[in-house]
Amino acid sequence: MADSTHVTPAQFPLPEEEDPSRRDVIMIAAGGFAAVGLGLGLWPLLDMMNPDASALSMATTEVDLAPVAEGQAITVMWRGKPIFIRHRTKKEIEEAKAVPLDDLPDPLARNANLPDNAPATDENRAGKNREPWLVMIGICTHLGCIPKGQAIGDPKGEYDGWFCPCHGSQYDSAGRVRKGPAPHNMAIPPYAFLSDTKVKIG
């Protein structure tokens, strides 16, 4: 007859249960290390997507207007676009103000500093409280050409403004299209005068 052995629980003790508070600390620490490691791994990728210094420098442009005499115009670059700045004469201002809005092919000011539905009056195209200054993006709205009229001797067209020789669009001294295939007035960029002789574009 086989000898049967009786196994008591004391001979094979069950493993002790792990302390719950210790387990929580270990899990939190492991999660924290994983989050830090993930952040360190992603940082170079995220940093690479930030614009570099040359792009940031083009976000705004400050222009000293002191050397620009009445009747003169300069061209500066902002975000890769030519910006026409003209110190208009009294004659040019009076001509622009005398134009009835009904005569304009595009009745909107196209001024980033005003609501989208602002009318294309001379006051809405020129600098606020600085009507001799006209600051606009010097790109023809037909096919993106650069109109003539900035330099001395450039043809200014029939309206003392700008003339695009590519397809014959003409703009007045407020940069509003008056003739030709261009559908819109030349756009006014966001800008603000920092002083009487300095303007910040962008």
Among 157, 30, 140, 127, CA closest to 82: 140
Residue 195, SS3 per DSSP: strand
3-state DSSP of 122-182: HHHHCECCECCEEEEECCCCCCCCCCECCCCCCCCHHHCCEEECCCCEEECCCCCEEECCC
Active site residue 142: no
Which amino acid belongs to residue 200?
K
- Per-residue b or e along 19-34, where b marks 16 or more CB atoms closer than 10 Å to that residue's CB: eeeeeeeeeeeeeeee
* Per annotation, catalytic residue among 6, 87, 142, 167: 167
Catalytic amino acids? 167
